[in-house]
Amino acid sequence: NLATAYAARSEGGSAKAIDQLKKVIDLAPTFARAHLALGKALLQDGRVSDAVAALQEAARLEPGSGEAHYQLGLALARAGRNDDAAVELKKGRELAAESDRAQNASLDVAEGRSALDRGDLEEAAAKFRHAKELQPGSAEIERLLATVIEKQAGTRRAETAATVHPVDDPKQVADIERDIRDRRYPQVEPRLIKYVEERPDSSWGWYALGYSLFAQQKIGPSIEALAKSLELDVTNGEAHKILGRDLMIIGRFDAAEVEFTQGLRYQPDSAELHYNLGKLFSIQDNWQRARTEFDAALRIDAAYLEALDGLGFALEALGDDEAAVATYEKAVALNGERHGAFVSAHVNLSAYYNRTGRADAALDYARKAIELDPRSDRAWFQKGRAEERQGDMTRAVDSINHAIALNTRASSYYYVLAGLYRRLGKMDESRKALESFARLEKESSDLDKLRRGGPAPMTPRDPQRE
């Protein structure tokens, strides 16, 4: 074995060590360290050409070994091959430095984990960020840093959104927040209405009311409550965020952008606010600005699944299919690691492969999405499109109808269904599907006109904006 060869070298010189190392290599020809040791022994013995061959094999078997490349450089220099020697010596130094960085990164990660266990989020973040600088491609370090950032953001959100001012009742605040966390929005709404009637100067009360109304899709009242909250405390980034989402829903995109931007003014490290801006720009087909915001969200939280998916869609819209697919696949992989049920990246990959004519891959991703969430209408729709491309019209009709049963408001589903029925010769069914498509398109157009022509919703004024 290798230990015997090292002993032979110290006891009987390089010749004995060389014989023993050759025996080791005969037994284990892919053992890189044996080839490295043989090369060094041959070089010491003056057998330069043999040393070069042994060290080249060591570097081939273990290309990440800085010592193998460095020793090969020395051997090549002895052989008079100075240009080749310079390349290998440089590579050896770089790999050795990388090894040092890896060791230091490992120490930072260990210290960061310890700080995280103690609850020292600032120390943990500092250690993980330094480790990331040393090893920028490490998925594990990215995940750990993302975990700390999310914990920090959660702490700040709680401090911002749940600040209890003297006007508030701490017990009622705690009880209401517990019910909000449990998503008991209909039950908590009347209590919050009474709360703000009794405490009209409570910015927290108006924010909590606006949030619970938003969660129930009561958009107009939610806007009014959040505007009141921000009149009392304009620095609440969470209130700006929810108000921005309300405004997006009613098509007031300019006003929504103002709210998200204001939110970032008071909460600059919010990945969610950047993500919401990215979604806003995506809705308006402003893909370059959408990409910028999704990138910003991911710089704060590299494991933000929704932002990864949004970035993939923006990249696809910008024509960078290769980067889009890689981004979707990263989101899919992260979701798998978490055993999560986030299906949008699967669905978008299915849509991409349908668009590019790879029906088998499209069907595979659609099925995986349905396994994760059987109620994903988009997954069923893409499944139907893939089956249509494979010529299986009957299954395609079943899948599209399943999508419609889950979401009766998607006009495109009826349009595709009409075409499928027409190809199957079912003209009455095709006509009915087209009628549904036309009705939904008209309703959407009328609503869009109403949004553009209606009065502007009330938004809080910030003297610092003007």
Give residue-wise pLDDT tens across range 237-256: 999 999 999 999 888 898 99
Residues 328, 396: Cα–Cα separation, whole Å: 25
Paired tokens of 452: 């553009």
pLDDT of residue 93: 77
Query: How far apart (Å, rounded) are the C-alpha atoms in residues 383 and 262?
Result: 41
Compute how many other C-beta atoms are within 10 angstroms of the C-beta atom of residue 319. 9
pLDDT at position 10, please? 42
Q: Which residue has the higher pLDDT, 13 or 328?
A: 328
- Domains of the chain, by residue range, sit at 2-80, 167-269, 366-466
Superfamily name with CATH number, domain 167-269: Tetratricopeptide repeat domain (1.25.40.10)
Taking 90 as the threshold, does the pLDDT of residue 22 lie above it?
no
Q: Which DSSP string do the residues of 328-371 spell out, in sequence order?
A: HHHHHHHHHHHT----HHHHHHHHHHHHTT-HHHHHHHHHHHHH
Supply 136's token pair: 């920028």
The pLDDT of 435-457, averaged and rounded, is 70
Distinct helix (H) and strand (E) counts, the chain: 23, 0
Q: Which residues contact 262 (CB under 8 A, 6 or more apart)?
A: 234, 240, 462, 465
User: What's the chain's average pLDDT?
Assistant: 85
* Same topology between domain 2-80 and domain 366-466: yes
Please tell me the total number of residues recorded for the chain in this structure.
Answer: 466
- Average pLDDT of the residues in 42-63: 89
pLDDT in tens, 326-356: 999 999 999 999 888 899 999 999 999 999 9
| Interval 355-363 mean pLDDT | 95
pLDDT of residue 154: 60
Under the banding of pLDDT at 50, 70 and 90, the label for residue 448 is: low
DSSP 283-329: HTT-HHHHHHHHHHHHHH-TT-HHHHHHHHHHHHHTT-HHHHHHHHH
135-157: average pLDDT: 71
Q: For 189-237, how does the pLDDT look when each residue is reduced to its tens digit (9 = 90+)?
A: 999 999 999 999 999 999 999 999 999 999 999 999 999 999 999 999 9
Amino acid of residue 89: L
Residue 135: the pLDDT is 72
Rounded CA gap, 340 and 338, in Å? 5
User: Which tens digit of pLDDT belongs to each residue from 302-313?
Assistant: 999 999 999 999
Mean pLDDT score, 280-291? 93
Q: What is the DSSP letter of 465?
A: G
Asked: is 366-466 a CATH 1.10.10.10 domain? The reply is: no
CATH of domain 2-80: 1.25.40.10
User: Given pLDDT bands bounded at 50, 70 and 90, which one contains residue 92?
Assistant: confident
432 vs 98 pLDDT, higher one? 432
Task: Pick the range with the lowest mean pLDDT from 30-34, 56-60, 187-191, 355-359.
Answer: 30-34
pLDDT value for 312 = 96
Question: Of 456, 116, 91, 93, which Cα lies nearest the Cα of 252?
Answer: 456
Mean pLDDT, to the nearest integer, of 292-303?
A: 94
Position with higher pLDDT, 28 vs 263? 263
Which of 349, 291, 307, 305 is closest to 325 using CA atoms?
A: 349
- Work out the percent of the chain whose per-residue pLDDT is above 90: 54
Is residue 323 scored above 80 in pLDDT?
yes
Residue 156 scores a pLDDT above 90: no
